[in-house]
Amino acid sequence: MVSSKSNVILFDSHCHLTDRAYSLNLKEVINRAKDTGVKYLLTAGLNRSDSKNSLKLCHEFDSIYCSIGVHPHDADKFSESELTEFKILSKDNRVKAIGETGLDFFRNYSKPENQERAFRAQIDLAKELNLPMVIHIRDAYPQTMKILKENGYFKGVLHCYSGDEAFAQEAIKLGFYISISGSITYDGNKLKSVIKQMPLDRLMIETDAPYLAPVPNRGKRNEPAFVRYTLQTIAQILNKDFSSLAQITTDNAKRCFGIQD
Ligand SMILES: [Zn+2]
Ligand SMILES: [Zn+2]
């Protein structure tokens, strides 16, 4: 067990603080994150209204940043007119990325062709705004790489990474960061060798809260304070010290999202 680590600074690079799971006690959740050293949080927008709500939260609490965009699950509802709105929202300096965007052919909650259309439009938007992207990929690794290469823009993070070593290496060579979620704490997780092969300056950590709570809280509501369990597991896999990895992953996320302070 890692106790309160107030001497370290952590960055939960991907969570969903607008989720109704927090509607009754978001303030407590954010305070618990702070108490455990999570100084920085990026809450990821899922669609037009969620992106607006995410930005609103950034102004209610210190140290919260957001990404704005349309999740592949919501791609059926995406229209080009949203791009103008996202451009306006992006002028706010708490907006640090476009997304989450990408492809999810596991759930296919939106039609694959609509997912691709929304993804391409958001790559173009990120390129135009020179912002990094928060990319979600599930059962769509070759298709995602094909689209990224066709659009020629390689800035951002592959969040909640679940792909193989070869894909990770290719993405890293192109310039991407890789973010590891709490699923790394689950028995039999296949990412251990991926992490061992990664250059440390591309590694980020996240909760994807309220989903994917790490052990010892697996199955419960996740929250940013739990990101330390993920880092603890990574530290064991890499045989590295917790606080130096905290520093490295925080610096990486700050560099990825262009956060100076
Ligand atoms: Zn995602
Ligand atoms: Zn997410």
For ligand 2, the distance from its centroid to the CA atom of residue 204, given in whole angstroms, is: 14
> What residues of the chain score a pLDDT lower than 70?
1-6
Please give the distance, rounded to the nearest whole angstrom, from the Cα atom of residue 210 to the centre of ligand 2.
9
At 5 the pLDDT is 47
CA dihedral 3, 185, 228, 256 (to 10 degrees): 170
| Separation of CA 158 and ligand 1 centre (Å) | 9
- Those residues whose beta carbon sits under 5 angstroms from the ion ligand 1 are 100, 136
Q: Which two tokens stand for residue 6?
A: 């107030």
Which residue ranges form the domains of the chain, and what is each CATH number?
Answer: 10-257 (3.20.20.140)
Q: pLDDT value at position 6? A: 54
* HEC profile of 44-80: ECCCHHHHHHHHHHHHHCCCEEEEECCCHHHHHHCCC
What's the pLDDT score for residue 1? 44
What tens digit of pLDDT does each residue of 68-108 get? 999 999 999 999 999 999 999 999 999 999 999 999 999 99
Is the full-model pTM beyond 0.75?
A: yes
pLDDT of residue 189: 86
